Structure 1
């Protein structure tokens, strides 16, 4: 909340402009200065300065609340994925105000899921959507407008039989291609105003690992710490935006090999970015291969759901669960950051 712009804390536009000249733009900027420094920058009396700082402090202070109030005040606490079996496991869908991560090997449908969720966000509420726009940050140039439209027309054929509805949907998905860590962080810090102006109901970052793994060689001294600090800043900003606007944030992550103990040379494939990052996300899905056509989605971490496994395929309309639809299956494992992930092998490629 400290990252909130001053103009959203009840400060007049004129005073915001005055403070901006002294590089004081957010609530955090203001409260990290002394009263005398702010008085000089704002051109106010000492008493007026104290009153302004007290007002800002009250705005960003976490309010005291109860579980009953949260239950009553947030009827839209879940975002439907349009996958009934997954929504059932998650007790309604993706939890709003939190971060959901989708991790797994290439080709398992991480971006397909993001495109599908983008479509769902834009459709009318009577069809299970939110009738809002999407902020889609693409760090791998993986976004495909053609695939977005194909998913829309095949998943909701009646609604998207109208060209006008297709154009309206496509116009509400706002794409930002950011190819460096600095660009991603800068974009995240500017999202607050974009969310308000575009009535965004979903933030997607595809993928969070791509840019940091390219820029940080963690075998070099100090790089691991710098990478952790950067990821921490990104997570903090995204958590603030999710909480402030009560919307879901969806990230995709890559995989890495976790080497076994005592230098055995053996290892398992796990989610990238390490154990510390795994604690930054509220919900983690793992997608993995079963064979050439079938895949699995594991609910590896969730504040509301038990560990569960759903089998799915990728079709023209996106992701479809098959088999025991909605029936929860459980697997062993306690640490989602070290949960082994199945990858495509030569055997899997030849399996039908």
Structure 2
């Protein structure tokens, strides 16, 4: 069933369609312009716009065959896209970067660099295709703290220095990051179902980041509301998957952790486990775990002759269809997230 809200139509046209009970693409496209005018009382220009938008909606998901994929004739909308993390070492670890076509979860304790890695992805997605970007902006949804705009501007300054002169002539990188604040579940759903699809259809953005998914689902439900929370989690996860599949974009969800009470068993070897349980885990396509270590190294950000101590952190691929279970070391400095070469 077609969702009328998915079409870019004037509210007057939407109201006429609902009144005429024309809620499917099949009904709209099988009627002639005269029949549509008779049932909706819309003008000729409105009907032509309606037919155009409905046809675009129907054909936005191309079809292909296994032979076309094997011969490299797969439509671009069905090709797996990757975006750089802004660091060559981490890109090599991730086999080219973060993939489209699903939900990539970045999980870890506080101060492991989850938000900074997400901001770096929002900058890298704006790179041209030949530089492992998608040449578009990003949507960043904050559900916990205020967005760290000061830190973002600091990262932009260092990020632009690494780019070619042709790239730096483009509009400022910060102008293409759309920031939303969602303080509750309803606000997040409103953003995912209403505002983000408009930006995606206009090709203004090709990355969606939710930081974090756990903040709205850990404390809002009581112990007796477990089934209700699971239902709402599944609904949100399916909406995010739908956006990712329809527009062939990566979706990044930041998650918090809980203490692992069964560490000594074969169930899990980690001190912490991702929050939200199996309900959310079954919705995640790839899971990356960020952790802090007790090690430090001397690191210089290039802005001064002095060196500072940086805590070494780890990036682990817990599960992903395209990654082995491996580990990558990185540090965080004024430049952003930087991997350590082996």
Query: Would you call these one fold, judging by a TM-score over 0.5?
Result: yes
User: What aligned pairs does 1:61-80 form with structure 2 within 5 A after superposition?
Assistant: 65-70=64-69, 72-74=74-76, 77-80=81-84
Residue 250 (structure 1) aligns with: 252
Q: Which residue of 2 aligns with 1:281?
A: 284
Which among 317, 325, 331 is matched to residue 307 of structure 1? 325
Query: CA RMSD of the aligned region, Å?
Result: 3.7
| Conserved? CA contact 1:123–1:169, under 8 Å | no
TM-score between the two structures when normalised by the length of structure 2? 0.74
Partner of 2:31: none
Match of 2:15 in 1: 17
1:115 deviates by: 0.6
**Aligned residue number for residue 197 of structure 2:** 192
**Aligned residue for 1:205?**
210
Provide the residue aligned with 1:297 in structure 2: 315
2:118 is matched with which residue? 114
Deviations 1:62-105 (A, max 9, x none): 87643444553345622222232332333322111221110010
Quote the Cα distance in structure 2 between the aligned partners of 1:229 and 1:60: 31
2:150 is the counterpart of 1:146: yes
Q: Distance in 1 between matches of 2:134 and 2:153?
A: 18
> Do the aligned residues in 2 keep the contact of 1:256 with 1:271 (CA within 8 Å)?
yes
Displacement of 1:233 after TM fit? Answer: 1.2
Matches of 2:91 and 2:182, distance apart in 1: 31
Please give the residue correspondences for 1:1-352 in structure 2 after superposition, counting only pairs within 5 Å.
3=3, 5=5, 7=7, 16-20=14-18, 43=39, 59=58, 65-70=64-69, 72-74=74-76, 77-157=81-161, 159=163, 168-190=172-194, 191-197=196-202, 199-217=204-222, 219=223, 221=224, 223-260=225-262, 268-291=271-294, 293-324=311-342
- Paired residue total: 295
For the residue of structure 1 that corresponds to 2:145, the secondary structure is coil
| 2-structure distance, mates of 1:26, 1:86 | 45
Q: What are the ranges of 5 or more consecutive residues in structure 2 without an aligned counterpart?
A: 29-34, 41-50, 264-269, 296-310
Paired with 1:73 and 1:62, the residues of 2 have a C-alpha distance of 10
CA contact (8 A) 1:119 1:148 kept: no
Rounded Cα–Cα distance in structure 2 between residues aligned with 1:312 and 1:3: 44
Tell which deviates more after alignment, 61-70 or 121-130.
61-70
1:294-337 alpha-carbon deviations (Å, 9 max, x no partner): 1100011111111110011111121111141xxxxxxxxxxxxx
- Residues 152 and 160, structure 1, Cα contact 8 Å, conserved in 2: no
Q: 1:24 to 1:321 in 2, by over 3 A?
A: farther
In 1, Cα distance between equivalents of 2:341 and 2:136: 32
2:303 maps to none
The answer on whether the counterparts of 1:135 and 1:174 sit within 8 Å (CA) in structure 2 is yes
The secondary structure found in structure 2 opposite 1:156 is helix
User: For the residues of structure 1 that align with 2:12 and 2:2, how far apart are their CA atoms?
Assistant: 21
For structure 1, the residue ranges without an aligned partner over 5 or more in a row are 32-38, 45-51, 262-266, 325-352
